[in-house]
């Protein structure tokens, strides 16, 4: 006999009571330990995405590579029209006139043009980082907050002799704020007013620059500074972005702003040409991102990734006629919308002039080459030779400098990884890079520039591939460890449920003819300790971060515990190999497949809510048909299931942004009261109906006789106050203190009343439903109030379905007591073993739990919830109280779902703790999928949503547990009729 184990055999009757108490205490301690482990594991593994997906691509310690040729330009002007779409820049207006006449004249007579392809996230900061620093914004900046410079990086401005910069306070300080050799200024944030025409911001930037140029005529020091070589002038023109957000890119204000930036480009050109008169100024005009038709940006749509690029001046090629302009050479740009040299739209009027598209990061090496500067050390851009007017020898030298700079990044990353890797695996294609460089130098020395160019570009391509190799060097190892950890955790849950809540161990014991105990083989733990120590030593030698140790420790610990159960696993394996349980194996396989399909649909539902609509439409047909043979239509249960499911299916077709509709909220109060009255009627008039006997307790009475009427009255009052508070606030623009006090009082008082209701299952759930209705109505602004009623009906339908199954299957001795089966005495009195068919309960729970997330909006994006939801409680801005009220509103549907879940576990007599572990098991199937769906490319919204989806599902181990503890206040004393009572009544 093993007193601290779960399976006890050979115990004398007089010792069973003491053994039972010890076994229950042991189980409680084990489950507390298991839950604590689960919380720690999910917290640590949630952090793993930042080591896997969001490691900074930036490395330091590389030497800059100076080009070996005389630069063609002494100074460079960079004009960035923030938010300017390529099509709106190039196309004519409704009168056939082009909006940028000066820059079109440049395209036709002085310089080169094309489309600059941005990579998501198409925001201002990452766009400017790509243009000026030559690399795509470090995704880890998402995790570091919106600081001005969350990651230190090199830029063209850093390499310049001096930089003059004017523009937005959100952009200019990023690059010049800590730059000693810079002169810059920004306008106040207050100037960025969406209610006005923001084109004056562009004129402000030009005026500032014009002022300093004019000032230099009378200031010798400033004149000497401006006349130096390798000078950069940067004007950030925010007008198009502000006007696009406020008025949309089709508006006259936005389109007029295109003319403004064209005039500014002309003004800058004339100002500098008249001032210097040396033809040694290069000009680049472009945009950081475009603007969608809805006035937004951030994603990868062509309207925000395609931006104009016009370059002219010193060192820039002149226009050339277009030949085979529609030819595709296979080069794909980072926005993945266009292949190289796609046909130019006819209405642009530029089809006859050669177009040279670039990736946005290619502009940085272009600027560096024109000024003779080293490329920014972290740049991944490729020099666009179609823009640079150099001889063949200097072309090769420029490309070679670009290649060496990228190669230096690769070598630095290789060096850092080699120092910290116990078993370093080099990037084989670049193992002999020195010989390639020597061959290129040799070809240049003999004048074979074409061959040298091909080898340089090939070496650059390999270096870029090598950078990606080292950026993802630890991915496979970390992802393997994390996935093994999740699988180990899930297997631990399965073993715990099998050993503690099923009759399977008893069957195994009979066949093994031995007492199964929970002894912990010391050999397994010794091996586990040795493995963990070896891993820790290896990680220490590699100077790995502390979290790496935590990832490995969790995984090794879990699998050590699994292998310590090798006797049970071996017995379980032999049990299934004997072949007598072949039907059970088929049933197990079918249940697993169906469960995984449903869980995968839930994963997809995070991006496509309409899946719930199809789910409940189908369930609304299948569940009544399943019960039809045993539960006749006249009982009303099949019809009710059909109507409830179809009613709930409507809400996930609604817009995630809930429109205001106060009348609908008031009507919802009436609907909720009607549902409560119907439930009350059933509770009072179906006590002797054989289909309802499990739900109705004859002797169950509320502590207050008029409790139901009081709750219905409070729901009605809350509906009236919704109307009064909203209408008064609309007229007077403030909330009356009387209304505010009544709203708070009704919401708080109504949630206490369910504690005094009758303890019968139907009575208590009806009271809980009515008790949470007033605060939910007072926090509602539209259709979500009706959703509350629909969710309540669907949950009631779930309870009726489980009740009907009890009637259909009839009481069975084999499932009512585990003690009679194998002597396991740790279940609560009256509970039965979990069976495979009970897997439906946690799966259905997760479906309802997730529709509670999305039935009232898009929980994955808190921004989709209207702040006006809290105006009936508070109108003075208080972010913490408002956020608390919004979160509480979201919790109310979850609490209804968990109350129904707890009631069902009591109804069907299964242990709630066992079902909780099955819920966590199912949610972790979803967690693993979301782990693979985390994105480190795309818009900030796409990246953030992928992280939040993973975080939401990972947190369910804590989230559901806390809600279980909270709702147990209401559900702990719910009473149901046992199967035995109903059986006796039937006889």
> In 3-state terms, what secondary structure has residue 141?
helix
Contacts of 598 (CB under 8 A, 6+ apart): 843, 847
CA dihedral 918, 923, 925, 930 (to 10 degrees): -170
User: Do 319 and 386 form a contact (C-beta atoms < 8 A)?
Assistant: no
| Among the listed residues 561, 562, 838, 823, the one whose alpha carbon sits nearest the alpha carbon of residue 6 | 823
pLDDT score at 901: 93
How many Cβ atoms are within 10 Å of 432's Cβ, its own excluded?
A: 10
Q: What single string gives the DSSP state of each residue in 255-279?
A: HHHHHHHHHHHHHHHHHHHHHH-SS
- Greater pLDDT, 780 or 795: 795
Contacts of 448 (CB under 8 A, 6+ apart): none
pLDDT score at 333: 56
Cα separation, 667 vs 550, in Å, equals 54
**End-to-end CA, the chain:** 41
Helix residue ranges, H only, 502-565: 504-512, 522-541, 546-563
Contacts of 304 (CB under 8 A, 6+ apart): 85, 118, 122, 289, 290, 291, 292, 297, 298
Sign of CA dihedral 367, 371, 376, 379: positive
Give the chain's mean pLDDT.
83
Bridging pattern class, strands 111-117 and 358-359? parallel
Bridging pattern class, strands 281-286 and 306-313? antiparallel
The position carrying tokens 């050799």 is 181
Average pLDDT over residues 681-690: 70
For 288-354, the three-class secondary structure string (H helix, E strand, C coil) is: CCCCCCCCCCCCCCHHHHEEEEEEEECCECCCCECCCCCCCCCCECCCCCCECCCCCCHHHCCCCEC
Whether 342 shows a pLDDT value over 70: the answer reads: no
Whether 518 shows a pLDDT value over 60: the answer reads: no
Cα separation, 840 vs 846, in Å, equals 10
Q: What is the CATH class of 75-327+344-389? A: alpha beta
Cα separation, 237 vs 128, in Å, equals 12
Bridging pattern class, strands 162-167 and 306-313? unpaired
By CB atoms closer than 10 A (0-12, 13-18, 19+), residue 864 is middle
Percent of the chain with pLDDT over 90: 42
924-940 pLDDT, tens per residue?
A: 999 999 999 888 776 66
For the chain, the structural domain boundaries read 75-327+344-389, 396-472, 475-561, 627-632+648-813+847-979
Cα separation, 508 vs 495, in Å, equals 14
User: What would the two tokens of residue 391 be?
Assistant: 């001889």
pLDDT band at 295 (very low <50, low <70, confident <90, very high): confident
Cα distances (Å, whole numbers) of residue 773 to 203, 746, 751:
56, 10, 9
443-456 pLDDT, tens per residue?
A: 999 999 999 999 99
Length of the chain in terms of residues written: 987
pLDDT score at 289: 93
pLDDT band at 20 (very low <50, low <70, confident <90, very high): low
The position carrying tokens 């009427």 is 709
């Amino acid at each position: 006999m093993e007193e601290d184990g779960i399976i006890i055999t050979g115990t004398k009757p007089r010792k069973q009571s003491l053994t039972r108490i010890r076994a229950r205490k042991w189980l409680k301690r084990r489950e507390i330990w298991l839950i604590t482990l689960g919380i720690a594991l999910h917290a640590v593994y949630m952090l793993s995405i930042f080591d896997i997906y969001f490691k900074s691509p930036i490395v330091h310690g590389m030497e800059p590579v100076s080009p070996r040729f005389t630069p063609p330009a002494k100074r460079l002007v960079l004009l960035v029209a923030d938010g300017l779409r390529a099509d709106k820049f190039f196309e004519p207006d409704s009168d056939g006139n082009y909006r940028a006449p000066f820059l079109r004249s440049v395209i036709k007579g002085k310089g080169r043009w094309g489309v600059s392809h941005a990579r998501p996230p198409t925001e201002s900061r990452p766009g400017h980082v790509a243009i000026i620093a030559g690399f795509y914004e470090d995704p880890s900046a998402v995790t570091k907050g919106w600081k001005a410079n969350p990651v230190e990086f090199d830029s063209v401005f850093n390499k310049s002799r001096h930089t003059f910069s004017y523009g937005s306070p959100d952009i200019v300080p990023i690059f010049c704020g800590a730059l000693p050799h810079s002169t810059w200024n920004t306008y106040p944030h207050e100037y960025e007013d969406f209610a006005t025409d923001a084109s004056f911001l562009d004129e402000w930037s030009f005026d500032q620059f014009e002022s300093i140029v004019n000032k230099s005529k009378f200031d010798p020091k400033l004149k000497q500074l401006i006349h130096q070589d390798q000078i950069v002038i940067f004007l950030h023109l925010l007008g198009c972005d502000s006007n696009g957000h406020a008025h949309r890119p089709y508006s006259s204000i936005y389109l007029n702003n295109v003319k403004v930036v064209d005039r500014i480009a002309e003004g800058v050109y004339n100002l500098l040409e008249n001032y210097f008169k040396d033809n040694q100024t290069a000009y680049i005009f472009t945009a950081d991102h475009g603007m969608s038709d809805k006035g937004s940006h951030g994603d990868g749509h062509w309207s925000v990734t395609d931006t104009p690029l016009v370059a002219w001046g010193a060192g820039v090629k002149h226009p050339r006629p277009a030949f085979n302009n529609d030819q595709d050479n296979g080069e794909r740009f980072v926005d993945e919308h266009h292949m190289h040299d796609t046909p130019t739209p006819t209405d642009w009027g530029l089809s006859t002039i050669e177009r040279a598209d670039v990736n946005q990061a290619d502009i940085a090496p272009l600027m560096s080459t024109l000024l003779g500067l080293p490329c920014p050390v972290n740049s991944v851009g490729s020099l666009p030779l179609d823009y640079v007017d150099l001889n063949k020898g200097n072309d090769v030298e420029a490309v070679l400098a670009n290649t060496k700079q990228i190669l230096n990044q690769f070598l630095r990353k290789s060096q850092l990884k080699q120092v910290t890797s116990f078993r370093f695996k080099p990037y084989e294609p670049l193992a002999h890079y020195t010989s390639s460089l020597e061959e290129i130098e040799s070809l240049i020395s003999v004048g074979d520039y074409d061959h040298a160019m091909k080898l340089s570009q090939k070496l650059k391509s390999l270096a870029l591939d090598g950078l990606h190799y080292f950026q993802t060097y630890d991915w496979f190892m970390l992802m393997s460890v994390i996935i093994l950890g999740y699988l180990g955790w899930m297997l631990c849950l399965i073993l715990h449920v099998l050993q503690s809540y099923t009759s399977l161990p008893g069957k195994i014991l009979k066949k093994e003819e031995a007492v199964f105990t929970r002894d912990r083989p010391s050999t397994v733990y010794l091996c586990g300790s040795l493995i963990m120590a070896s891993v820790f030593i290896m990680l220490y030698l590699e100077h790995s971060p502390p979290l790496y140790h935590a990832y490995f420790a969790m995984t090794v610990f879990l699998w050590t515990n699994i292998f310590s159960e090798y006797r049970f696993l071996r017995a379980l394996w032999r049990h299934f190999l004997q072949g007598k349980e072949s039907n059970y194996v088929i049933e197990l396989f079918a249940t697993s497949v169906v469960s995984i399909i449903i869980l995968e649909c839930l994963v997809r539902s995070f991006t496509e809510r309409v899946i719930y609509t199809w789910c409940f439409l189908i369930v609304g047909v299948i569940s009544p048909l399943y019960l039809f043979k045993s539960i006749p239509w006249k009982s009303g249960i099949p019809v009710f299931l059909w109507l409830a499911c179809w009613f709930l299916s409507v809400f996930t077709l609604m817009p995630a942004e809930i429109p205001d509709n106060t009348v609908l909220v008031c009507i919802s109060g009436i609907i909720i009261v009607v549902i409560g009255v119907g439930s009350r009627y059933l509770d009072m008039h179906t006590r002797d109906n054989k289909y309802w006997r499990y739900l109705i307790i004859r002797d169950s009475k509320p502590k207050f006789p008029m409790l139901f009427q009081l709750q219905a009255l409070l729901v009605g009052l809350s509906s009236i106050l919704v109307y009064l508070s909203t209408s008064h606030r609309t007229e007077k623009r403030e909330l009356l203190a009387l209304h505010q006090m009544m709203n708070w009082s009704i919401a708080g008082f109504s949630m206490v009343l369910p504690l005094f209701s009758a303890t019968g299952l139907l009575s208590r759930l009806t009271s809980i439903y009515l008790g949470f209705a007033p605060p939910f109505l007072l926090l509602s602004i539209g259709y979500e109030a009706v959703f509350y009623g629909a969710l309540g009906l669907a949950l009631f339908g779930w309870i009726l379905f489980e009740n009907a199954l009890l009637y259909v299957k009839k009481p069975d001795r084999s499932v009512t007591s585990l003690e009679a089966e194998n002597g396991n005495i740790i279940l609560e009195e009256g509970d039965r073993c979990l069976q495979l068919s009970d897997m439906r309960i946690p799966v259905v729970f997760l479906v309802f739990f997730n529709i509670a997330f999305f039935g009232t909006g898009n929980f994955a994006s808190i921004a989709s919830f209207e702040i006006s939801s809290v105006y009936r409680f508070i109108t003075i801005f208080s972010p913490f109280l408002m956020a608390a009220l919004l979160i509480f509103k979201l919790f109310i549907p979850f609490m209804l779902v968990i109350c129904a879940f707890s009631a069902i576990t009591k109804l069907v007599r299964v242990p709630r703790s066992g079902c909780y572990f099955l819920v966590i098991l199912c949610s972790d199937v979803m967690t693993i999928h979301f782990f693979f769906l985390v994105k480190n490319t795309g818009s900030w919204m796409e990246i953030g949503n992928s992280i939040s989806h993973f975080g939401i599902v990972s947190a369910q181990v804590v989230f559901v547990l806390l809600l279980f503890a909270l709702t147990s206040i209401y559900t702990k004393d719910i009473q149901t009729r046992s199967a035995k009572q109903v059986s006796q009544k039937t006889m």
